[in-house]
């Protein structure tokens, strides 16, 4: 059994760790509320805009169709992996890295697969075994639509110039503070709605024309889609970190209680031994 000094040192160390994890939990909880409100308010607009553009794009034929809806033979694939800049958030980053690697090694095996990483953690791991063309760590320092638009414009340019035939987003979808689901989502080309019912059956009046409206709204829709994915990941990160720090705090509390019990037992045993030594010495003097 460890001596009393060692146990006291461990109790102090665990107590300090518990204070840190508890503080990190509260900070993440505060940031989560703001991030959750932002993504919850944005989803309906983003989903409806994407649905509208998919419907309109599907009705355009021939040369009237958008280049961003063009279907090609998939030879070159770009995977956009969205992680975080910091750790201590459980399996949040690991799940994205595993899913992204699986796309390169299994789903698109035999294709030329490249990566664009958003977040330091994903870049640090993926660049060791895959080709990372660009990294965007700085986006989380000022997460705004304008800053995300620059990344989306670069992705659209790469697709338009035929550098890549398919662009895929991999990110964590925020469900609640304790649950995040990894989403693999096609970014380009635009995926038409798969339905047995006629597409765009609603009676719309287009001014100036359907083709011009689609060409104007598609870039905005793609920027919004990427912004929503990063916002989703951002909220998921704080939820994952809050949950991880909550569990870490609980584990530290349990460990501290166990160490305190061990310390009390060791202290009691030491006092008992001292009493026995005193009593034994007194008996020896009497004899």
Q: Give the model's pLDDT for residue 67.
A: 81
Query: What average pLDDT does the segment 94-118 reach?
Result: 92
Instruction: Decide the pairing of beta strands 112-118 and 132-135.
Output: parallel
* Residues taking part in catalysis: 89
Question: pLDDT tens-digit profile of 273-287?
Answer: 888 888 888 777 787
* pTM of the complete model: 0.83
pLDDT over 90 at 182, yes or no? yes
Q: What is the DSSP letter of 68?
A: G
End-to-end CA distance of the chain: 34
Buried b (16+ CB within 10 A) or exposed e, 272-285: eeeeeeeeeeeeee
Q: Note the residue count of the chain.
A: 287
pLDDT over 70 at 246, yes or no? yes
H or E stretch at 216: helix 210-286
Q: How far is CA 138 from the centre of its chain?
A: 16
Query: How far is the C-alpha of 44 from the C-alpha of 33, rounded, in Å?
Result: 18
Task: Point out the least confidently predicted range of 89-103, 160-174, 190-204, 247-261.
Answer: 190-204
List the domains of the chain with CATH numbers: 4-20+245-286 (1.10.287.80), 21-243 (3.40.1380.10)
Output the six-digit token pair for 97: 């890295």
């Amino acid at each position: 059994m460890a001596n009393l000094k060692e146990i006291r040192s461990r109790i102090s160390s665990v107590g300090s760790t518990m204070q840190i994890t508890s503080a990190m939990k509260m900070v993440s909880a505060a940031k989560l509320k703001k991030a959750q409100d932002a993504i919850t308010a944005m989803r309906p607009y983003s989903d409806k805009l994407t649905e509208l553009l998919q419907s309109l794009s599907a009705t355009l034929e021939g040369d009237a169709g958008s280049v961003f809806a063009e279907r090609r033979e998939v030879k070159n694939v770009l995977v956009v992996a969205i992680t975080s800049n910091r750790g201590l958030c459980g399996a949040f980053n690991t799940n994205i890295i595993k899913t992204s690697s699986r796309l390169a090694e299994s789903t698109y095996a035999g294709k030329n697969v490249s990566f664009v990483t958003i977040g330091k953690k994903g870049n640090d791991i993926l660049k060791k075994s895959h080709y990372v063309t660009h990294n965007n760590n700085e986006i989380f320092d000022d997460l705004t639509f304008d800053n995300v638009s620059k990344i989306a414009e670069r992705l659209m340019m790469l697709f338009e110039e035929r550098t890549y035939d398919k662009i895929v987003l991999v990110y964590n979808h925020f469900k609640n503070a304790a649950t995040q689901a990894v989403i693999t989502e096609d970014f380009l080309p635009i995926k038409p709605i798969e339905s047995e019912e006629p597409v765009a059956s609603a009676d719309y009046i287009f001014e100036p024309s359907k083709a011009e409206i689609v060409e104007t709204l598609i870039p905005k829709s793609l920027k919004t889609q990427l912004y929503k994915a990063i916002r989703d990941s951002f909220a998921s990160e704080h939820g994952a970190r809050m949950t991880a720090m909550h569990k870490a705090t609980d584990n530290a509390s349990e460990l501290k209680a166990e160490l305190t019990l061990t310390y009390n037992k060791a202290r009691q045993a030491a006092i008992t031994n001292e009493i026995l030594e005193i009593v034994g010495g007194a008996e020896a003097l009497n004899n």
